[in-house]
Amino acid sequence: MLLDMTISNFRSVRDSQTISFEAVKDNRLEPGKVVQVSDKLKVIKSIAIIGPNGAGKSTFVRALEALKAIVTADAEMENPLQLLSGTSFAYSEVKGAPADITIELVMGTDEESGQALVGKYLLIADREKVYEESYHMFVGRSRKLMFERKLVDGDANELSYAYRWGKMFRGEKKRLVGKVAHNHTYLGAAARKGSDTLVPVYQWFTDELMILPFGLSSAGEKVIVDQLKRHPSWKKALIDFLWSVDITDIRDIRFQEDRLIFVHTNVTQHYAAYFSTESLSLRRLTSIAVAMFESFVTKRVLVIDDFGMLLHPYALEHVVQAFESNNAGTGSQLMAVDCNPALLKDGVLRRDAVWFAQKSSDSSTEYFSLADFKY
C-alpha cells in the first residue's frame, strides 16, 4: 500500500512537497474509509488532489509514472532517465538540478511487535545520471538500512558510486557493483536478479501500481477487451455498473477480435455500436469500471488523472462510493486527481483524504490537506 510520496524539483514543484495516505488520529472522521494496518497506523482508501487548472495537480501522477518507468526499465534500455525530460523546475536556483522522489510503502506487519513494516525508497536523478538511491525499512521508529548508492564523482569520465548494504539485506550485492549503469536503478537490477529484499518493492511498481490511461484510444479499448475476456463475469458487472449511473439501455456486450461492441435496447428495437463510436463519457466510465473491478480482486493503487473529465458530478460520487464499499478485503487504494468540487461534498471523502494544489507567489506548486484546517 502507498503510504506517502514526496517530490522536489519536479515539473511545477520546487520545494519538497508530500501527499500522504496516512489517516490522522481523529475519531470524528469516518472509520470505514480507512484500512487498519496496525494499532498505530491507518491508511486511507481514497484520496483526491483538487485545485484549479494549471495549479500542478497532475505533477504527482507524472512523478509516479516516471518513477515506475525508470525502476522497471529493461537493462537494455539506453537511458530510462530521459523520462525526466522537462522536469527540472523553471525557477530552480541551480540549472539542471536533479529531481528528488521518495515513496513510502506499507510492506506488511512485523510478526514480533505487530507494528507496520514501512519501506522507504529514494531516487535522486537528472536526465543523465543517478545521484543517490536508497531503500530503508522502518518498524515503528526503528530504521534499518537495506541499501544505499551514492555518486562519488559526478565530473569524472567514468562515474563511480559508493555502496552500502544493511545486515538484513538479502540478494545480490557486490556482484552488481560496476554493472549497474549510471542511468539505471540498482533496485531494478537487483530485483531482476531475485533479491529477496527488493523483489517485493519492484513488484509493487510492476503489479500493484495502476495508473489509468485515458481509455479512449484503440490501445485502451484492447486492455478493456482483454480484461473482460479474462473475467467473463465482469461483463454483467459492467452492465450493472452502467445502469447504476443511469445508462440503462445497454443489455449486452460483445467482442469482435480486439473491438468492443455495446448492444443497446429500447422498447421496440436493438442496435449495436462499436466502443469507438460511443460517447466519450461512456467510454471513460467503462475504462474506470474495469480498472476498479481489478482492484476489487487484487490489491492495486489505482491512480486516475482528470478523474471527473466528461463525467457528471453525481457519477464521480458514485464511483468513489462503489470503490470504497467493494474493496474491503484487498486493501486497494484510489488517488483521484481533478478540479471538480463534487469530491468536496460532505461524506464523499474524509477530510484528511482531500489535498489541495495551488501556485505560490513564485509560481511553484504547493499542496496542503483539508485536515490542516480546524472544524
pLDDT at residue 215 is higher than 60: no
| 227: helix, strand or coil | helix
User: pTM value?
Assistant: 0.92
Q: Within 10 Å of residue 104's Cβ, how many Cβ atoms?
A: 22
Residue 375 has pLDDT above 80, yes or no: no
Question: What pLDDT is recorded for position 91?
Answer: 63
Cross-strand pairs, 160 = none
Average pLDDT over residues 310-319: 90
Helix (H, G, I), strand (E, B) or coil at 134: strand
CB 99 within 8 A of CB 9: yes
How confident is the prediction for the chain on average, in pLDDT? 90
pLDDT in tens, 54-83: 999 999 999 999 999 999 999 899 999 988
3-state secondary structure of 245: coil
**Residues 6+ positions from 344 with CB-CB distance below 8 Å:** 50, 354
Question: What pLDDT, in 10s, does the model give residues 334-370?
Answer: 999 998 888 999 889 999 999 999 999 888 999 999 9
Q: What's the pLDDT at 335?
A: 96
Q: What is the pLDDT of residue 72?
A: 95
Instruction: Enumerate the H helices of 33-185 as residue ranges.
Output: 59-71
Q: Provide mean pLDDT across the span 131-157.
A: 89
pLDDT at 211: 92
